[in-house]
Structure 1
Amino acid sequence: MMQTIYIFVFLFSLVFSSKGFKDLQQENEVFMSASESLEMKLVNARLEKINKPFVKSIESPDGDIIDCVLFNLQPALDLPKLKGAILSMDPPELPKGYDNTRAESEIKQIWNSNGESCPNGTIPIRRTSASEILKSISISEFVKRARTKDIPPSNGHEHAIGYVIPGKVYGAKALLNVWAPNVVGNDFSNSQIWVFSDVPNYGVNTVEAGWHVIPSIYKNNAPRLFIYWTPDGYKSGCYNLLCPGFIQISRRVSLGAAFGPVSKYNGQQYESVFMIWKDPRSGNWWLKVGNELIGYWPQTLFTCLRDHATTIEFGGEVYSGNSGKHTSTQMGSGHFPGEGFGKAAFARSLEVVNEDNSLSRVSNLNLLTDKSSCYDVKKGYSDTWGNYIYFGGPGNNPNCP
């Protein structure tokens, strides 16, 4: 089947329309006439690497532009060491215990809510604007995030998480409900799973996935699907497809695009399943969201993650660069975990992937919060949900000045 896809991609590229490419050139160069500064030249050079020629462009109801880019033109394949690897790619082996007969929750995004889709042989990439890159530069410190378990909180990062340290682990799975927390200024708020390895002399390697809200870049408080990876303790690495690394295969899901609908306080709850695991055949780290196989991080991107992970974490994170009083940026639903179902954010059915590529419920789940009066976390267990956590909070309040 994969061989058929690549033949199709090759034939598709022969009839690729030049109109889309010309439109994209104009989009990428829109700021050139306004400024010839070094900064703007760097921004436009970056845009040319991120925004690829496309065969179809979709305007999302929320204003995003989704470009359908030929599979073999995606950013990851700009890396010479990855160009050959994709040709021998095989479908991953799902972990044992994964119930393939049970329909997982379908991931729903606003851009395809009207039935739009990308053609076979392409992947949907959210178009990046020059203004977004400029804003990212102005808050670039948010990428260089602190170590998750730094206490007291370092560099403006606060967490409310459950974590396990099993020694050797090969992936994680959880269901996260999706909210639209209020985020102020240059802050961000997210809900995610972390799979990372911290081995002496190698530094921290991570692969991460979940949803985040960053209105200073995206212009609204909509929660958006994101992935992140770093091979060196957050000194480098990046979100989504903003630099070469992650190889996407899905034509139905766009990284960086908004979820829709989202959970309502004391109302309908919407959740998605996130699973990251190391395929025992290829050694690559794969991502599945809902019932959709999104793609993978090649093992060659990493050092210690080439073998295994050492820690799994589930929960929320808020970043704020503000000094003085505590930020009012919300985590999760903006409500404390004690309010429970329908009111607080959760991560449920927490599982890890073992060395034999089998799923098992987490054991010895630990909790960590940097400031429980601002954001808190609580754990529980039920026959239906297995191990779970509720987490989040409002940030600034009378007990969190």
Structure 2
Amino acid sequence: MASSDCKISPIISIFVFFLFLNSSSVCPVCSSESGEFNRVNQTFHAREELEKLKMIRAHLMKINKPAVKTLQSPDGDLIDCVASHQQPAFDHPQLKGQKPLDPPERPKGHHSNRMGSENYQLWSILGESCPEGTIPIRRTSEKDVLRASNVRKFGRRITKPIRRDSSSNGHEHAVGYVTGDQYYGAKASLNVWAPRVANQYEFSLSQMWVISGSFGNDLNTIEAGWQVSPELYGDNYPRFFTYWTSDAYQATGCYNLLCSGFVQTNNKIAIGAAISPTSSYNGGQFDISLLVWKDPKHGNWWLEFGSGVLVGYWPSFLFTHLRSHATMVQYGGEVVNSNPSGLHTSTQMGSGHFAGEGFGKASYFRNLQVVDWDNSLIPLSNLRVLADHPNCYDIQGGINTVWGNYFYYGGPGENSKCP
């Protein structure tokens, strides 16, 4: 018996071993539990996705207003012509039931040229425009919102792009700026490019910032310019944009008309729409003018884009510090560097070429001015220039009789000196 037991023992051991290996298939209870877990898990994810979709559609219903007319842009955008009094701004409790204000008096010393100034967006390149009494709004799609890293923060900046130590959060700048006085507006002309953006989570822009408050939680900014942002728009076209915040990009403000705030008064300019034409290296240069100024009568901050076209205004009540005046004005470029593969990004700023290459090759800002307490445009007296990483993107300032205060700026990002 002892001998027989010894012979059987290895067979039993092998059987037990295989039984253990295949426990999920031979144990009906275990198999049942595993299947149930998978079913519950799938149901949970399905419900989660459904809730996300419901939230997106509710948000789209809020920002995509009923259209009187819809136009198709060559780049695929849908432009809705929305009754002026139904635009997103009038969802704000302090604007409900109101209508856009009449244009204010422009700053003294301001000269505008309206010739050909309204046909520099792709959607209106064939002369299309919205009817009087309506404004053009780029329709936001489900795809637009789904590209956002956070649905609740769609249309908002997640980080603070203005601070001088901003390189720590991936934002890099080459800017000219003035500070130390009271500013009631700013003006500049800048050329438009189509810089390469390395991935969906980065952007490249050129803009003006009108700033007040500290760089803590009470920062107020008004911003306008052009940007290439695949995450926000789903393509690589340079687009006219606006932004504002009254609490350092935390809970207030947004891009364009993606929240209640900016009041648009123009029926020919679509904020967020692609700009055309653009500048070419060693070729034709296309620039636009931007003017932001505070209406002395009502205190609202108005925006002019192009060569004399009023776009609309930011009501003064949106702000805390900017209810009175700005304490800093910045002009220049900004990119997001997400350090792909541990290297500096190859996202370009401006033309993608350094400032030293000059006209026709580098990006520029020219005729820089500010608005003083008397609603007069005046030249800058103390322009400073600063680049966070001059080996990646740099800046060179100057002054002459034709361009007044100006600077060249930009760069390619990753290169032998910017690894």
* Class of the TM-score when normalised by the shorter of the 2 chains: 0.7 to 0.9
Equivalent in the alignment of 1:347: 365
The answer to whether structure 1 residue 121 and structure 2 residue 133 are counterparts is: yes
1:173 aligns with 2:187: yes
TM-score by length of 2: 0.84
Compute the displacement of 1:326 (Å).
0.1
Q: Which amino acid aligns with 2:93?
A: P
One-letter amino acid matched to 1:181: P
Given candidates 217, 222, 233, the residue that maps to 1:207 is 222
* SS of residue paired to 1:274: strand
In the alignment, is the contact (CA less than 8 A) between 1:107 and 1:272 conserved in 2? Answer: no
Q: How does 1:130-141 map to 2 (within 5 A)?
A: 130-138=142-150
Output the CA distance in 2 between the equivalents of 1:375 and 1:280: 38
Q: 1:377, 1:200 → 2: CA distance?
A: 23
Q: In the alignment, does 2:310 pair up with 1:298?
A: no
Residue aligning to 1:357: 375
Q: 1:51 touches 1:127 (CA, 8 Å); kept in 2?
A: yes
What is the match of residue 246 of structure 2? 231
**One-letter amino acid matched to 1:119:** P
Match of 2:334 in 1: 317
What residue number does 1:4 align with? Answer: none
| Structure 2 unaligned residues grouped into runs of 5+ | 1-45
Secondary structure at 1:338 match in 2: helix
Question: Is contact 2:117-2:309 (8 Å) kept?
Answer: no
| SS of alignment partner, residue 162 of structure 2 | coil
Residues in 2 aligned to 1:135 and 1:188: alpha-carbon distance in whole angstroms: 14
Is contact 2:304-2:310 (8 Å) kept?
A: yes
Task: Tell me by how many angstroms 1:41 deviates.
Answer: 1.3
* SS of the residue 1:295 aligns to: strand
Name the SS for the 1:286 alignment partner: strand
Residue by residue, what CA displacement relative to the aligned partner does 1:79-99 show, whole Å, maximum 9, x if unpaired? 121125536x23211001112
- Post-superposition offset of 1:377: 0.7
**Shift in CA distance, 56/152, structure 1 to aligned 2, threshold 3 Å:** closer
Aligned residue identity for 1:352? V
For the residues of structure 2 that align with 1:256 and 1:200, how far apart are their CA atoms?
27
Give the equivalent residue in structure 2 for 1:67: 80
Give the aligned partner of residue 8 of structure 1.
none
Q: CA deviation at 1:363?
A: 1.3
Structure (1 or 2) with the larger CA radius of gyration: 2
Q: Secondary structure at the match of 1:166?
A: strand
- How has the CA–CA distance of structure 1 residues 137 and 49 changed in structure 2, closer, same or farther, with 3 Å as cutoff? farther
Distance 2:379 2:228 in 1: 29
| Unpaired runs of at least 5, structure 1 | 1-32
* Aligned ranges 1:70-109 → 2 under 5 Å: 70-84=83-97, 86=99, 89-100=101-112, 105-106=117-118, 108-109=120-121
Aligned equivalents of 1:200, 1:255: Cα separation in 2: 27
State the number of aligned residues.
368
Task: Give the SS at the match of 1:137.
Answer: coil
Runs of 4+, deviation exceeding 3 Å:
33-36, 84-87, 100-107, 137-142, 199-202
1:192 is matched with which residue: 180, 198, 207? 207
Q: Secondary structure at the match of 2:219?
A: strand
Q: 1:390–1:106: structure 2 CA closer, same or farther, 3 Å change rule?
A: farther
Partner of 2:15: none
Q: Which amino acid aligns with 2:85?
A: N
The answer on 1:266 being equivalent to 2:264 is no
Q: Pairwise CA RMSD of aligned residues? A: 2.1
Alignment partners' CA distance in 2, 1:180 and 1:311: 28
Cα contact 1:105–1:272 (8 A) shared by 2: no
Q: CA deviation at 1:263?
A: 0.4
8 Å CA contact 2:118–2:269 kept in 1: the answer is no
Moved more, 325-334 or 162-171: 162-171
Aligned to 1:281: 297
Tell me the amino acid that sits aligned with residue 203 of structure 1. D
The equivalent residue for 2:68 is 55
Tell me the TM-score normalized by structure 1: 0.87
CA 1:83/1:34 → structure 2, altered by over 3 Å: closer, same or farther? same
TM-superposed CA distance for 1:147, in Å, is 4.6
Alpha-carbon distance, 1:252 to partner: 0.2
- 2:237 paired with 1:222: yes
The one of 156, 159, 167 aligned to 2:170: 156
Q: CA deviation at 1:100?
A: 4.3
- In the superposition, relative to structure 1, how do residues 64 and 383 fare at CA in structure 2: closer, same or farther (>3 Å)? same
Q: How does 1:28-39 map to 2 (within 5 A)?
A: 37-39=50-52
